[in-house]
């Protein structure tokens, strides 16, 4: 178990905030261009694009320090502080937006998928809740993030943990789908009985 700041210092990587409001203004957002990831775009370890903001490519180049690479992690630093997602090929070149952290693992021995997964777990989130600042809207800063105690194990073990949890989550999703299907079937049968489409055998 190591502090996140110590992992980054010892094994490589850095943590930085997205552009502040003075660097990127709301009037610069448009319907086309380079996506800018905000906290509300991050859900269940994935980034949604349905309502994502975008900026012109030229403007994104000017903010190149905030453009994301494979292996980066984007983390909400205000609001719902459990939001985090690993960056894949599809998000390369997108911008880490205002209200987010960009965690660049670089040569670190932390797997991006593992780091993102662990960050969303209760062990880390309890630390986040205890350290978050601000009464109206909880938020995080670099000092708080660097102080988080983080599980650290061999890369092979990290990959195995990610695979096992992914497998368990797939089973859970399938069970929820089956539950939903059974509920719909039950509602249909109840409707048939109540409307006398199907008679009750006594």
Print the domain residue range for 131: 2-152
Please name the residue that has the structure tokens 């102080």: 147
**31 shares a domain with 56:** yes
Average pLDDT over residues 27-37: 93
For residue 200, tell me if it sits in a domain: no
Residue 32 has pLDDT above 90, yes or no: yes
DSSP string, 21-42: TTTS-GGG-BSSSEEEE-GGGE
**34 shares a domain with 106:** yes
pTM as predicted: 0.78
**167 shares a domain with 188:** yes
For residue 201, tell me if it sits in a domain: no
Q: How many CB atoms lie within 10 A of CB 142?
A: 14
17 vs 152 pLDDT, higher one: 17
144 vs 166 pLDDT, higher one: 144
**24 shares a domain with 8:** yes
Number of domains comprising the chain? 2
Short-list 40, 45, 37, CA closest to 102 = 37
For residue 202, tell me if it sits in a domain: no
For residue 98, tell me if it sits in a domain: yes
For residue 76, tell me if it sits in a domain: yes
**106 shares a domain with 74:** yes
What are the tens digits of pLDDT across the range 40-72? 999 988 999 989 999 999 999 999 999 999 989
**69 shares a domain with 159:** no
**46 shares a domain with 14:** yes
pLDDT of residue 65: 93
135 vs 112 pLDDT, higher one: 112
CB contact set of 110 (below 8 Å; sequence gap of 6+):
7, 11, 13, 150, 152, 158
């Amino acid at each position: 178990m190591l502090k996140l700041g110590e992992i980054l210092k010892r094994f490589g990587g850095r943590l930085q905030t997205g552009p502040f409001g003075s660097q990127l203004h709301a009037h610069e957002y448009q319907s086309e261009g380079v996506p800018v990831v905000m906290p509300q775009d991050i859900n269940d370890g994935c980034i949604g694009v349905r309502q994502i903001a975008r900026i012109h490519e030229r403007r994104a180049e000017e903010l190149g320090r905030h453009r994301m690479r494979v292996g980066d992690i984007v983390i909400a630093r205000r609001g719902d502080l459990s939001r985090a997602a690993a960056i894949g090929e599809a998000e390369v070149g997108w911008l880490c937006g205002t209200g987010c952290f960009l965690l660049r693992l670089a040569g670190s021995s932390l797997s991006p998928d593992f780091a993102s997964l662990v960050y969303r777990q209760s062990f880390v989130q309890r630390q986040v809740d205890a350290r978050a600042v601000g009464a109206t809207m909880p938020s995080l800063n670099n000092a708080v993030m660097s102080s988080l105690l983080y599980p650290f194990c061999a890369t092979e073990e990290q990959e195995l943990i990610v695979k096992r949890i992914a497998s368990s989550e797939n089973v859970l999703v399938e069970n929820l789908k089956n539950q939903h299907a059974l509920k719909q079937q039950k509602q249909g049968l109840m409707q048939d009985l109540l409307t006398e489409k199907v008679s009750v055998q006594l």
